[in-house]
Structure formats: structure tokens, C-alpha cells
Amino acid sequence: MSVRPGLPNEVAVNAREIACKTVGEMKQRLAALTPAHIEIIDESALHAGHAGARSGGGHYQLTLISPAFAGLSSVARHRAIYQALGDLMAGRIHALSITALAPDELGV
């Protein structure tokens, strides 16, 4: 995780700590969807200066593979993820890019 450019060191360290806690909490909450694979990438540093970044909300990229997604539309999968993340979506997560697949969609 990179330090956000242009921020004083103590603020950048605090932002990094918050992002680590947020990723950990995201993984805990998404465990309810019984993931076979989960990857969360913090892309907040790429959005430094953006309104959401200034208010403390992070930008994340999520890849989640779960048997719970079998037979669900993309919209239903996203709704399940948003529901699992709950109040994180209203504060600590400003933007979330989602790839949500069932295991049989991997094409392996």
C-alpha cells in the first residue's frame, strides 16, 4: 500500500492504518458469502485529492468468487456484497469496483 502523495507523513500513516483496518473488516463481513477466493486491492492512493478521498472514504477493487453467486444476476451479486458490507459503504468505502463470480464461471 502506498502513501498518498501530498499528505503530511503522520496523516499518510493514519490513512494507511485506516485502509488496512477497512480491508480486514471487509474480509470479515464478506465471509458471510462463503468466498472460495477473495482479493481486495486498496486503490485509494490513485485517487488522492478526490472528494471521496478527502472525506476519508477509500477506493477499493474487489474480486470475490463464491458458490453463493451461482444462479444470481450481476445486480443480485452486487446487492449481496453491499448488504454484507453494510455501513462501510456509507463511510470508509467511497468507491468499490466489483468482480463477483461463481466458481463454475472461472473457465478453468
Task: Quote the pLDDT of residue 18.
Answer: 64
16-71, pLDDT tens digit by residue?
A: 666 678 899 999 999 999 999 999 999 887 656 655 555 667 889 999 999 999 99
Which of 107, 106, 93, 108 is closest to 40 using CA atoms?
93
Cell of 86: 453494510
Task: Quote the pLDDT of residue 55.
Answer: 61
In CATH, which of 3.40.50.300, 3.90.25.10, 1.50.10.20, 3.30.300.90 is domain 9-105? 3.30.300.90
pTM of the predicted model as reported, rounded to 2 decimal places: 0.77
Q: Are 58 and 16 in contact (CB under 8 A)?
A: no
85-108, pLDDT tens digit by residue?
A: 999 998 889 899 999 999 999 864
